[in-house]
Chains A and B, each alone.
Chain A
Amino acid sequence: MTVLSFALAYIGFSTLCVAMERHHGEVFGTRRIPPRRQITLRVAGWLLLAASFPVVITQWGWSFGPVAWCGMLTLAALPIVLLLPWRPRLVLWLAPAACMLGILAAWG
């Protein structure tokens, strides 16, 4: 559950990240994002971030959960900020990897 909530927050943040022109440029090589795709990315990003909340709450409960969620968001955003300047493509590839790990960890 810990890994799953991290994965959801990470994918959410990286989706929001590539929805921004500057970072879209760093990751895909072009700053131009079709407007509809930008909106889709934004909505998906926020939804994924929101989805990590109930996962954290199921694991931690209502008293510890919100605290853990804040910490989890911080932890999920940190690698993106650190990877972007040096390995921007890796931000993208880590997302499916995190997704797989999260699902495996939640099932296993």
Chain B
Amino acid sequence: MKNGFRQSMAWLHTWSGLVVGWVLFAVFLTGSVSYFRPEISLWMRPELHDAAAGTRAAEMIIAGMQRRAPDAPSWIILMPSARNPVADVFWREEGPNASRRGFQQVQLDPRTGEGLAARATAGGDFFYAFHFQLFGLPIPLARWIVSVCAMFMLVAIVSGIVTHRRIFADFFTFRPRKGQRSWLDGHAALATLALPYHLMITYTGLITLIALTMPWPILTNFQGDRTAYIAAVFGINERAPRSGRTAPLTPVGPLVAEATARWGGGTIGRILVTNPGDAAATITFQQQDGDRLSVSRRTITFNGVTGAVIATREPEGPADATRGVMYGLHVGRFGGGVMRALFFVSALMGSAMVATGAILWAVKRRQKAGGGAGARLVEILNVGTIAGLPAAMAVYLLANRLLPPGMAGRAAWEVYCFFIAWLLMLLHPLLRSHRRAWQEQLWAGALLLLAVPVVNALTTHSHLGMTLPAGRWDIAGVDLACLGFAVLLGCSAWMVRHPATATPRRRTAQAVAAE
């Protein structure tokens, strides 16, 4: 019976992993780089590299917004932080630059409140958004797809633990250059070594989308009123209607002092101003994440005219704390650079685990049955996703440097370049033999990644020759990571070119001949 259970778990593991493997790989890899979302966004806006956070940033930015968009119904201000020297501001306004949902976005200099002329780009936000809502699909549908894939992932992890009966005995085992055996070893090692991370990230990932996938508790507790739920959880209240009477906005300096005093020193992450210039104005401060593990939001709302405190929201109650910790663990904004590096290493191991699993399936199938239409499809998708996606991500960074800064629809075109490159990578293996396809795509990926720091050096002043001596690791890190991945893909390509001298099948043939 035990044997039967293991076998059924092995079956479950194989198929739950394979069916969604490619989506999972894309989610894992784009999610991994999203730990460095602010750094990538900054790298992709070289015009902002000299910006620096100033004192009295909140006052300067509010003053800047009063000059820029005095009549907007509300302003959302993401304050500068240690990882992002400028303020990102959003407001609703009709116009040619407005996003799909009618938002204008600019970067403001926190020293002056003036706009900074950076090239239009989605920056690291593209990878971040892609990793949980893909692209081009209606957002709820895409999030459902990712949630379902994450559920499969959880099933695959648990059934994988059951299947892998020698977790401790094989803990350090990796036997390279032995065909299927090596892929199995590698897959198991990547899974085992970072198992706490894999379980954590998959489970917390599901939790972050739980309001969508399991809405019933919210619908029941808030009588179907989602706005009330959002107000309770995020401390964002529905905007009061404009009164129609103009009234000047109160100076924000004292409000900042009041908020930091109440929080015992935390910094302000976001400012939400509603009805600026109206008697019904409000100003809400939200505490910066990264000071604590939990991202349960602390907010404080002031009357925008008198400066009196209207409402505060403190994280409270076990449900709120749990949600905050789950989300905090998933996004990993706490603890600084070393912690982020640890998360990144584990996340890359997760991506590699998914990749080796998918490759293992194809290798096994080819050895057993010599392939077939299904196996061929898996092989094509493997090459186009595992080798193709990193190449496409490099193309996205290259497009950022090479598309003309003033081009219409520039930000969108960077994203299109990414998808065109990826589509080509998915089509290319149709025309080539499997081994050649791997080899060519891995080399292509290595060269494209290598090109990123080179093109960066040719087109900007923020290249490694400048950023390394200046100690700007936030910017240099992107170039260095590209170089590192280029080496990794290059080595993989070399290993595909020089396959194992004795594959298991050949060895058995030799053994048979010897007897």
Contact = CB atoms under 8 A, between A and B. Distances in A.
Interface stretch (A17-25, A29-37, A47-55, A96-104): A17-25
Interface in B161-185: 169, 171-176
A103 to B, nearest CB: 19
A74 B335 contact: no
Contacts of B329: 67
A85 B174 CA distance: 7
B172 A72 contact: no
Nearest to A13: B172
A80 interface: yes
B339 A71 contact: yes
A22 B172 CA distance: 10
A68 to B, nearest CB: 6
Contact of B335 (A17, A60, A80): A60
Interface residues of B, number: 25
B292 interface: yes
A63 B292 contact: yes
A94 to B, nearest CB: 14
Interface in A66-103: 67-68, 70-72, 74-75, 77-78, 80-82, 84-86
A95 B173 CA distance: 19
B194 interface: yes
Interface string B337-360: 011001101100100000000000
B193 interface: yes
Interface residues of A, number: 25
Contact of A74 (B176, B193, B292, B334): B193
A90 to B, nearest CB: 14
Interface in B101-150: none
B345 A81 contact: no
Nearest to B196: A70
A28 interface: no
Given A63-B292, A72-B342, A74-B345, A80 B172 contact: yes
Given A67-B293, A85-B175, A78 B343 contact: no
A38 interface: no
Given A64-B335, A78-B349, A81-B193, A71 B173 contact: no
A31 B194 CA distance: 28
A46 B171 CA distance: 14
B172 A81 contact: yes
B189 interface: yes
Contacts of A22: 173
Contacts of B189: 81
A82 to B, nearest CB: 7
Contacts of B339: 60, 64, 67-68, 71
Interface string B197-210: 10010000000000
A68 B293 CA distance: 12
B174 A74 contact: no
Best-buried of B172, B174, B346 by chain A (most CB within 10 Å):
B172
Interface in B317-343: 329, 334-335, 338-339, 342-343
A74 to B, nearest CB: 5
A13 B292 CA distance: 30
Interface in B250-302: 292-293
19 contacts: A13-B172, A20-B169, A23-B172, A63-B292, A63-B293, A67-B329, A67-B335, A67-B339, A68-B338, A71-B345, A74-B194, A77-B172, A78-B345, A80-B172, A81-B173, A81-B174, A81-B193, A84-B172, A86-B176
Interface of B: 169, 171-176, 189, 193-194, 196-197, 200, 292-293, 329, 334-335, 338-339, 342-343, 345-346, 349
Query: 7 nearest interchain CB pairs?
Result: A71-B342, A70-B196, A74-B194, A64-B335, A17-B172, A63-B293, A77-B193
Interface of A: 2, 13, 16-17, 20, 22-23, 60, 63-64, 67-68, 70-72, 74-75, 77-78, 80-82, 84-86
Given A68-B342, A71-B346, A77-B172, 11 more contacts: A13-B172, A22-B173, A64-B335, A70-B197, A70-B200, A71-B343, A77-B171, A81-B189, A85-B174, A85-B175, A86-B176
